Chain A
């Protein structure tokens, strides 16, 4: 399972299915470890604009709205930035971006 997710990190479609798998099985120790790693990436780099536990006034973007199918959009926005959303591609590794995605998905409105 861990290998599958790591392997899938290159392509958007595979990623969508990997995260669907994740959503089904957040309880495995690997998935939990990844969510925790993502929480740390989030608290270091994203929390200041997107809010403690992803809750904010809505003046940035409510990340809990992202659905399993939004992975490509997520990768693009996080890597390249958007308006007052700074770009992260030369700061965060693909692995870290993947971890923060897991964390965000674990708190999503629509699992």
Chain B
């Protein structure tokens, strides 16, 4: 089954012929194949861009559902659907299913059990964000820090692996993210910075489940970076890694976002708190950290930098340059050199008042009195709130328009850090450690979908929403942006103007990740509906009270006359 990436893509594109396995080569070509969706983010770059154009601005009004499938779950539907040879694979927190892509008929369904205590340390939604596919296996993480590999044809378990000590729910660890598989290594992160864990990213052998490496995000006593923590605060320093990263084959680097320090309350961890709120470039075979960039040192506001770093080649000062882009929760949009992490641009793409900008030389935020006041325990009004200007929802990038399509949050907060708590692994270190109230400019405009220039942070257009969209976006070569709304509408917008061209009401709110694919010459769009996740559960947004719940999977295509 070894083929050149080019040949692989051609065979799939021209004939839809099924390959028996998803080799590492197939995964590297995944961004260009339109029949299958093999990698989280629609390809290793995480651009969520599709070259498909059958559905376009003129005919999108004829988009209709082809089928819907019930996941029989009342928690959030955040999963990324994978498509392989006419089969769609999706996950919830406790189920993995295979569904016929054309008919919506279930092929197999596996229920996963985990101890109920696990959910005590799941801060941000009882969810799973998706699986990875490799050599006939569907590989996913489970809440209780396990990975499981299922036979893609039958759902039968092939291997299961428990993350080694100290990774247990009792120590504050949970797994909610989708794995990324690179050259036979399953890479996965953890949640738990709200429960005093010590964050990490780790690699497993995709064939056997054997644990290969672990990269802690917080230094141990005496290691470089441990001097950036007050006392022994690094031992419970947080730094989670709960959102999936991206991969560049040419540089052989995986880019992964690292989360907030624990506790949220910053008063007992003076210093930069390395390597929280950073972007890592990691060697996939060994787990070596090749470079890092810290966005927000000594963060009081839960501005974790877990947002997926998106890889692209763009023109910088007239020269093409390979970069990674991150729409950081802090409100700054970072553009870094993919090779060495050097700062190219960092501009606000939403309302920010804790910093005036980012120093181009040092890469550090130019913090304001709001930030200083927060560290000193004063009550301050901060933009953005702990939800961030984005949260985990993925942006998309169109190489055609050069724009990022970002679902943003437009909410601030009052904030005060009282006496800091004493932490121990597994003990809550999040929301309960600070005092907050929600602040809005207009309670009925809490979010925007924006088309943003990566180098300036400026919007070409902004489409307002009553509540922020926690759905990811997806953009096609016909300049359509797809996204979902908290109140259930699945929408297509004009990538050039932001105008909503099409909207379909699904049964619950959408916090899922739209994808598009083709089969037998027809283009399809697939997304999960099912309200849940961090904002729906936590934010206390009165616009979202009492929404209908329930996860379902939807596939749309143009209506044939």
A56 at the interface (CB under 8 A from B): yes
Whether A84 pairs with B536 at a CB distance below 8 angstroms is: no
* Cβ of A61 to closest chain B Cβ, rounded Å: 11
Q: A53–B438 Cα gap in the complex (Å)?
A: 10
Which residues of B sit under 8 angstroms from A59, Cβ to Cβ?
Answer: 74-76, 531-532, 536-537, 547, 549
**In the complex, residue of chain A having the shortest beta-carbon distance to the beta carbon of B436:** A52
Is B544 engaged at the interface, CB distance under 8 Å to the other chain? yes
Please report which residues of chain B, range 518-559, place their CB below 8 angstroms from some CB of chain A when the two chains form the complex. Answer: 531-532, 536-542, 544-547, 549
Contact indicator B536/A45 (Cβ below 8 Å): no
Q: Are B432 and A56 in contact (CB under 8 A)?
A: no
Q: Which residues of A contact B509 (CB under 8 A)?
A: 57
CB distance from B483 to the nearest CB of A (A): 18
**Which of B118, B430, B432, B549 has a CB less than 8 Å from the CB of A57?**
B549
Q: Shortest CB–CB separation between residue B360 and chain A, in angstroms?
A: 37
Contacts of A44 in B (CB 8 A): 428, 430-433
User: B164 in the interface, Cβ–Cβ < 8 Å?
Assistant: no
In the complex, which residue of chain A has the Cβ closest to the Cβ of B539? A52
Binary contact readout A44-71 vs B (1 if CB under 8 angstroms, 0 otherwise): 1101111111111111101000000000
For the complex, give the distance between the alpha carbons of A86 and B428 in Å.
15
Nearest to A39 among chain B residues (CB) is B432
Residue contact A53 to B540, C-beta cutoff 8 Å: yes
Contact: A55 with B432, CB < 8 Å?
A: no
Q: Which of A45, A58, A88 contacts B547 (CB 8 A)?
A: A58
Q: Which of A67-84 contact B (CB under 8 A)?
A: 81, 84
Q: Are B116 and A47 touching (Cβ within 8 A)?
A: no
Interface residue? A11 (CB, 8 A): no
Which stretch from B119-127, B295-303, B332-340 is at the chain A interface? B119-127
- Residues of the A chain whose Cβ atoms lie less than 8 Å from the Cβ of B194: 48
Return the chain A residue nearest B541 by Cβ: A55
Cβ proximity bits A15-55 to B, threshold 8 Å, 1 near / 0 not: 00000000000000000000000001111110111111111
Q: Would you call B117 an interface residue if the criterion is a C-beta within 8 Å of the partner chain's C-beta atoms? A: yes
Contact call B545/A58, Cβ cutoff below 8 A: yes
Q: CB < 8 Å: which of B93, B117, B432 contacts A45?
A: B432
A87 interface residue, CB < 8 Å from B? Answer: yes
User: Contact flags (1/0) for B424-439 with A, using CB distance below 8 Å?
Assistant: 0000101111001010
The CA-CA distance from A86 to B143 in the complex, in Å, is 13
Q: How many interface residues does B have (CB within 8 Å)?
A: 36
Q: Considering only CB atoms, which chain B residue lies closest to A84 in the complex? A: B126
Contacting residues, chain B, for A91 (C-beta < 8 A): 120
| Cα–Cα, bound, A8→B433 (Å) | 30
> B538 touches which one: A51, A62, A84 (CB < 8 A)?
A51
Known contacts A57-B547, A58-B547, A91-B120; decide if A45 and B428 are in contact (CB<8 Å): yes
**Smallest Cβ-Cβ distance to B421: which chain A residue:** A44
Is the Cβ of A48 less than 8 Å from the Cβ of B75? no
Question: A40-B432, A44-B431, A58-B545 are known contacts. Are A51 and B540 too (CB-CB below 8 A)?
Answer: yes
Interface centre among B75, B432, B438 (most CB of A within 10 A): B432
Q: How many Å from the CB of A108 to the closest CB on chain B?
A: 15
Report which of B118, B122, B430, B540 forms a contact with A56, defined as CB distance below 8 A.
B540
In whole Å, how far is A26's beta carbon from the nearest beta carbon of chain B? 20
Known: A48-B430, A48-B431, A52-B438. A86 touches B539 (CB 8 A): no
A42 to B435, CA, bound (A): 12
Contact B537 A60 (CB under 8 A): yes
Cβ contacts under 8 Å, B547 to chain A: 57-59
The smallest C-beta distance from A96 to any residue of chain B, in angstroms, reads 12
| A51 to B545 Cα, complex, angstroms | 10
Task: For the complex, give the distance between the alpha carbons of A14 and B142 in Å.
Answer: 42
Report Cα–Cα, A81/B537, bound state, in Å. Answer: 18
Of all chain B residues, which has the CB nearest A56?
Answer: B537
* Residues 361-380 (chain B) with a chain A CB within 8 angstroms: none
- Assuming the A-B contacts A48-B123, A48-B431, are A58 and B549 also in contact, with contact meaning beta carbons closer than 8 angstroms in the complex? yes
A54–B537 Cα distance when bound, in Å, is 10
**Minimal Cβ-Cβ distance residue in A for B509:** A57
Nearest chain A CB to B415 CB, angstrom units: 13
B123 contacts across to A, CB distance below 8 A: 48
Contact, CB under 8 Å: B536 / A48? no
Q: Which residues of B contact A81 (CB under 8 A)?
A: 116
CB-contact partner of A86 in B117, B431, B436, B549, under 8 A? B117
Closest A residue by C-beta to B124 = A48
In the bound assembly, the distance between CA atoms of A53 and B537 in angstroms comes to 11
Chain A residues within 8 Å of B118, by CB: 86
Q: Which residues of A contact B540 (CB under 8 A)?
A: 51-56
The 10 closest A-B pairs by CB, nearest first: A44-B432, A52-B540, A43-B432, A55-B540, A44-B428, A86-B119, A59-B549, A58-B546, A57-B536, A57-B547
14 intermolecular pairs with C-beta atoms under 8 Å apart: A40-B432, A44-B430, A47-B431, A48-B122, A51-B538, A52-B538, A57-B531, A57-B544, A59-B75, A59-B532, A59-B547, A59-B549, A85-B116, A88-B120
Interface residues of A (CB under 8 A from B): 40-45, 47-60, 62, 81, 84-88, 91
